[in-house]
Amino acid sequence: MKHWIERIADDLNEKDVPEHIIASGTSISGSIHIGNSCDIFIANAVTKALQKLNDESKTIWIADDHDPLRKVPYPLPESYEKYLGIPYSQIPCPEGCCSNFVEHFEKPLLSLLENFGIELEVYSGAEMYKDGVYDDYIRTALENAPKIREIFNKFREHPLKDNWLPYNPICSECGRVNTTYAHSFEGDTVYYSCKCGHKGEMDIKSGEGKLTWRVEWAARWKIFNITCEPFGKDHAASGGSYDVSKIISREIYGYDAPYPVPYEWITLKGEAMSKSHGVFFTPGQWLEIAEPETLNYFIFRNKPLKHKDFDPTMPFLDFIEQYDRVERIYYSAEEPTSEKEGEKLKKIYEASQINLEESMPFQPSYRFLTVAYQIAGNDPSKIYEILKKNSQLPKEMEDKDFKEMETKDLERFTRRIEHVKNWLEIYAPEFVKFQVQKKLPRVEINDQQKEFLLKVADLLEKKDYDTEEFYDEMYLVIHDLDMKPQKAFQAIYKVITGKKQGPRAASFVLSLDKDLVIRRFRMKD
């Protein structure tokens, strides 16, 4: 059984090319999120899979920074509407911290790619135009404008005008690129009119203009000798960008289109990600709450065209538990439900790893840490003792003290604690949060609840329990008192945190200082 990334690499491996160039590209129209950066993650994974086959291969990333601003991205003010239609590369930085708009939004992504083990060559579309990289391709497109119009019109409901040219100059009057119409050319001079009323001319060598997208895409394939490119499903629609650019690439530039890897959009809590509406989640935000490998797992666990929804609130805990289970299965610490499932999950895990460990990494439960952190605070040694008390450590660590932890285990442990801390502060729903009160909260509990707490206090005074044993003992008390479990557990939470709900009661109680719990249950503190 092979992962879909390996199957793509196998297909590419059959092509007789000196080097595979796997391309990715992003429009710099605002914050780069986990949805529109999928190109990069998939391209990098394909490159690595090819390198395992001893194929010469590299990943490139092209910033589409010469495109016009179509919507003001969040959180920029409405005043930025004056830049609508202006190429991103010519818009100032919104906070004055970078050289321009493009650097402001691409820097947060490029600065952390190393965390994901991603190596790529970075190119700027705007710089390519200024450096003359596109000049010959612009000339070819202009000379073949009638043929390009014919190709476009096959896929259009309303045909293009007979004088339409596949090129958009930047208006020398208003600075916009999406309001100009190039209608004729002579040598390297293009004549145009703009919706602002200006009529002008420009030299293509100035870099102050750009090929229309589908022609530019085809030209780019030839420029870099691109052999494979992932892209969003909108480009893959029938009659869409890929279909048109594929024909232009072959018939105008004499180059076979690269191997396509279309992918489905990632939604955020069921909503389409939108830079203009502020609905997005970035790779940087991901690293605040989890290891980089978990984002790889999120992207690679399903085929690229399968729908993916991300929710950083409560469902995130389930997601991390799924990842941890896959990790345990990979290292044979847990049995899969079937041999087939085991093979599949091991392939997904391998594809997700940046540096594959020889033995299973330390894996404290993320969900349990959300409880332990709120009890012990940001003290790894105290959290470690809570894990030990609740049988949450692997067997080989059960008899070890915190100071005896191996460096790699300690590093992963402290990182996960930091992730949990950030998740609690930023994404955790209020019902998950609690604080152990320093004094007995002013709460109302009935006589039956008081009797339950007293009996549980007696249990705790007799001996030390493991979680399962204590859970069973509490249920015996609940049964003897003919109580509803919900009412019994509410009493525990009320006298400890002042709330009606909280973490799983047995492990929660055993995680706390025993003397404190006994005093609270006897209503003495």
Residues 6+ apart with CB under 8 A from 315: none
Q: Residue written as tokens 């008899």? A: 399
CA–CA separation, 195 and 240 (whole Å)? 26
In sequence order, what DSSP letters do the residues of 44-101 get, joined into one string?
HHHHHHHHHTT--EEEEEEEE-SSBP-SPPTTS-GGGGGGTTSBGGGSPPSSSSSSSH
Tell me the one-letter amino acid at 77: P
Supply 513's token pair: 């200082």
Q: Residue written as tokens 């896959």? A: 326
Cβ pair 13, 50 in contact under 8 A: yes
Supply 66's token pair: 């010469």
Residues 6+ apart with CB under 8 A from 231: 25, 39, 241, 242, 260, 261, 262, 263
CA nearest neighbour of 256 among 264, 267, 265, 248: 248
Residues 6+ apart with CB under 8 A from 412: 361, 362
Cβ pair 520, 496 in contact under 8 A: yes
CA–CA separation, 442 and 440 (whole Å)? 7
- Check the CA dihedral 98-104-106-112 and report its sign: positive
Coil vs helix vs strand at 470: helix
Cα angle value 74/75/76 (rounded, 5°): 95
CA–CA separation, 40 and 112 (whole Å)? 12
CA nearest neighbour of 86 among 74, 100, 69: 69
Coil vs helix vs strand at 378: coil
Was 462 annotated as part of a binding site? no
CA–CA separation, 181 and 184 (whole Å)? 9
DSSP 362: P
Q: What is the CA radius of gyration of the chain?
A: 30
The number of angstroms, rounded, from the C-alpha of 11 to the middle of its chain's C-alpha atoms is 27
Supply 410's token pair: 């300690």
- Check the CA dihedral 346-351-357-362 and report its sign: negative
CA–CA separation, 354 and 270 (whole Å)? 29
As annotated, the binding site includes 275
**Residue ranges at the known binding site for ATP:** 275
